[in-house]
Amino acid sequence: MTASPYWPEGLAQHVPSPQPTLYDNLAAAASRHPDRTAIHFYGGALSYAQLHREVGSLAGYLQRRCGVGHGDRVALYMQNSPQYVIGYYAILRAEAVVVPVNPMNMTAELRHIVEDCGARVALVGDELYEQARPLLGNAIHHAIVARYADYLGDHTGLPLPPVLTDAAPTLDVLTECDAAIAPRAMHWRAAIAAAEQPAPCCATPDDLAVIPYTSGTTAAPKGCMHTHRSATHVVAASVQWCRLSDDAVILCAMPLFHVTGMQQCMNAGIALGSPLVVMTRWDSRCAALLIERYRVSFWIAISTMMIDFMSQPDLERYDLSSVKRLAGGGAAMPKTLAQRIEARLGVPYMEGYGLSETISATHINPPDRCKRQCLGIPIQDTESVVVDPVTLTVLGPRTTGEILISGPQVFKGYWGKLDATRDAFVEVDGRRYLRTGDLGYIDEDGYFFFVDRLKRMINVAGYKVSPAEVETSLFEHPAIQEACVVAARDARKGETVKAFVVLRAGADASAAQIVEWAHGHMAAYKVPQIVEFVSALPRTASGKVQWRVLQEQENRAATLAN
């Protein structure tokens, strides 16, 4: 595939190989900048030297007290915190594999993941311990339990999430370390204080490093196997693409368990030796205060965060001039919001695209040539084509088909699932590609645009309607904050369009008014015939709207009505 004519000026099309391991990036940063702040946490601070030291202590504890060995999987079940960063890199330092777990998962979901990948050790936030405790002694042999507030500093003026202010729960967790035996559950501070020395690190770029699990909206979540090589390729490529230097200050507001926050925020920052400004939970006012206080220069934020952030009535009071790069993905940024962001912050919102199977970015908009509501162009060493989903014929510009990806960041396969791994790949013109399951097209400039999921389409009397396209149009309505479109059953047409709508605060609009407005902004067959107002849309922990939940809800209602 020929590179887009808008390839970033001065950027090499290839990332030097091999890259170091993820842990090597931390060791190098601590060597270069031992006294530099690695983590700002609501007034608290850890230097790179302290971060590196605690990573080593915890890695030694995992190896010597918990029996963690090369290639073992360790679950990381926490919210954003200094402990998350320490735990992530300690697992890698122990030559084990990080299994990040969505902190919104309940016991049954956690059980599926740890049993599926065979994790016998877990690092757990104390607010999540009750979810993990039923698994101790069977699926999980050892747990290390963290209290995020232990790393707080002078947080005067910063709104804190309840998990940092609530009284510590009473837990059956040991607070003193017995050298003779590793207990089932040990307090984080005691594990660090044990000061165990890890064995020499012999990990290689081709060793497994991270197994993120898919969201599992239609089936049981699957573990995506990534090596240090696939993970560090994305980190190095993204740092170069975004033109980040080691004086960047990075806001970690995205969940770190998710590949976007993990790679574009945490791992990119560590590779640079930059300060990470860590937020445990999203709070728009707190984000503005942190940007102002620490002079944040790089921020990854999905569109839903930006909707919330830009809705602050007193946003003008904050000094946000330090932000030099603002990027995100997950869902298209509404055009009007993108315009408001650029007017207020002075930088464009740079959209990108990636999957758990590619451990974040495969496509990003060129920094100096961003197109709105666009996935961007393939990054370094990455090939991407659009094909007919059935025949696999490569399609030309402006023709919608399935997006395929080939590159160093593509995963090795699904943990323990040979059939699913085989089905995830196809060969086109002699090259092996990952099937994304996403429909999109390429324009004449080589930019990729998302249309919809392969199986998410509404058939209105033979006319195919893309829900994402209708949602994008509805975002332009002045009273609509968010919308999710699904198929509703129709006796005459087979299916019709239904929109779940969240109104802006203080806005007033009736369903009839929205339908009338839509008739002036889209083809008649695309117009929502049913509008249902809701206070919020269901979301994953990474902020993506769970359209399948609403579709299944609609299907159940239709079945009961019949």
pLDDT digits (tens, 9 = 90+) for 190-238: 999 999 999 999 999 999 999 999 864 445 789 999 999 999 999 999 9
CA 230 from centre of chain: 16
Place of tokens 């014929």: 393
Is residue 533 domain-resident? yes
Residue 431 neighbours by CB distance under 10 Å? 12
What pLDDT shows up at residue 180? 47
Is residue 371 domain-resident? no
- Per-residue pLDDT band for 109 (boundaries 50, 70, 90) equals confident
pLDDT digits (tens, 9 = 90+) for 285-302: 999 999 999 999 999 998
What are the residues whose beta carbons fall under 8 Å from the beta carbon of 370, sequence distance 6 or more? 348, 349, 350, 351, 376
Return the CATH number at 524: 3.30.300.30
pLDDT digits (tens, 9 = 90+) for 375-392: 999 999 999 999 999 999
Q: Whole-model pTM?
A: 0.86
- Token representation of residue 254: 């995205």
User: Strand 377-378 to strand 360-364: parallel, antiparallel, or no bridges (unpaired)?
Assistant: antiparallel
Is residue 547 domain-resident? yes
Is residue 503 domain-resident? yes
Q: Which residue has the higher pLDDT, 371 or 3?
A: 371
Is residue 271 domain-resident? no
Total domain count, the chain: 1
CA 115/CA 123 separation, integer angstroms:
15
Place of tokens 């893309």: 466
In sequence order, the β-bridge partners of residue 510 are none
What are the residues whose beta carbons fall under 8 Å from the beta carbon of 147, sequence distance 6 or more? 126, 168, 187, 188, 189
Is residue 111 domain-resident? no
CA 481 from centre of chain: 22
Residue 101 neighbours by CB distance under 10 Å? 26
Is residue 311 domain-resident? no
Cis omega before residue 18 (within 30°)?
A: yes
The mean pLDDT of the chain is: 93
pLDDT digits (tens, 9 = 90+) for 295-333: 999 999 988 899 899 999 999 999 999 999 999 987 778
Q: Which residue has the higher pLDDT, 177 or 520?
A: 520
- Token representation of residue 135: 């698994």
Mean pLDDT value across residues 427-440: 96
Is residue 93 domain-resident? no
Domain containing 531 equals 456-561
> Which of 5-14, 36-45, 65-74, 409-418 has the lowest average pLDDT?
5-14
